[in-house]
Amino acid sequence: MIGRLKGIIDDYGDDHVIIDVGGVGYHVACSVKTLAALPSKGEAAVIHTEMLVSENSIRLVGFATEAERGWFRLLDNVQGVGTKVALAILSTLDANELTNAIALGDKAMVGRASGVGPKLAQRIVTELKDKAPAFTGGDLALAAVSGALDAPRPTAAAEAVSALVNLGYGQSQAGAAVSAAMRSAGEDAATETLIRLGLKELAR
């Protein structure tokens, strides 16, 4: 299996890059965000890869970060997603945005990607919600907000997120703001405090 390529950027396409490694040009499919993160043509680059083997082909998919590759593997295993849709999602949301959207159950954010309808977005969020904590980088506040949204009784964090959503912010945007508020005010902060600090965060 080819897990990483280190070489020179030979050429770019709309959805792929060709990397010259020791005189061999590897065609690597990539998300829009990975293509944007790679250096210019003729420069050295390192790209994380996933090799997909089928009866008819062997393909390489490339990623700028390990986190993006990790999400690709999870997305690719959700029924109805596949490689094309997984890359469309990763072209729309970077790894951090996807982590927030999944952790906070924001199916509307996931549904922004091409080829992802409401039912598929709901399936992705439902099936991968338990996997999101592995990508938070130890963000206990985000994990706390995620847990609060699933709690049977209203919590200050959940009420703060709901208030921000009612003000017109997206679920993951509101959740990320409240998690930032909890990092500064503490997990026992009152709803009003989390809303105030969350609004400050959103105004930045």
pTM of the model: 0.67
What pLDDT, on the 0 to 100 scale, is given for residue 33? 92
Query: Where are the chain's structural domains?
Result: 4-64, 67-137, 138-204
What pLDDT, on the 0 to 100 scale, is given for residue 1? 77
Q: Would you say 74 and 102 are in contact if contact means Cβ atoms under 8 Å apart?
A: no
**More confident call, 198 vs 5:** 5
What pLDDT, on the 0 to 100 scale, is given for residue 89? 94
CA gap 34, 48 in Å, rounded = 10
Alpha-helix residue ranges (DSSP H) falling in 77-203: 82-92, 95-103, 107-110, 118-128, 140-150, 156-166, 171-185, 191-203
Q: Which fold has domain 4-64?
A: OB fold (Dihydrolipoamide Acetyltransferase, E2P) (2.40.50)
Judge whether 4-64 and 67-137 match in fold.
no
For residues 48-73, give the mean pLDDT. Answer: 89
For residues 7-12, give the mean pLDDT. Answer: 94
Residue with tokens 């950027």: 9
Write the pLDDT tens digit of every residue in 145-191. 655 555 566 678 778 888 888 888 877 778 778 878 877 787 778 88
What pLDDT, on the 0 to 100 scale, is given for residue 199? 87
Write the pLDDT tens digit of every residue in 109-142. 889 898 999 999 999 988 888 776 555 554 555 5
Q: Would you say 110 and 126 are in contact if contact means Cβ atoms under 8 Å apart?
A: no
What pLDDT, on the 0 to 100 scale, is given for residue 169? 82
Nearest in space to 31 (alpha carbons), one of 99, 101, 86, 96: 86
Q: Would you list the DSSP string of 96-108?
A: HHHHHHHHTT-HH
Q: Which CATH number among 1.20.1090.10, 3.30.70.260, 1.10.150.20, 3.10.580.10 corresponds to the domain 67-137? A: 1.10.150.20
Write the pLDDT tens digit of every residue in 71-118. 899 998 899 898 999 999 999 988 888 888 887 778 888 898 989 999
What pLDDT, on the 0 to 100 scale, is given for residue 138? 44
What pLDDT, on the 0 to 100 scale, is given for residue 145? 61
Q: Tell me how far apart the terminal alpha carbons of the chain are, to the nearest angstrom.
A: 44
Q: Would you say 37 and 1 are in contact if contact means Cβ atoms under 8 Å apart?
A: no
143's tokens: 């994990």
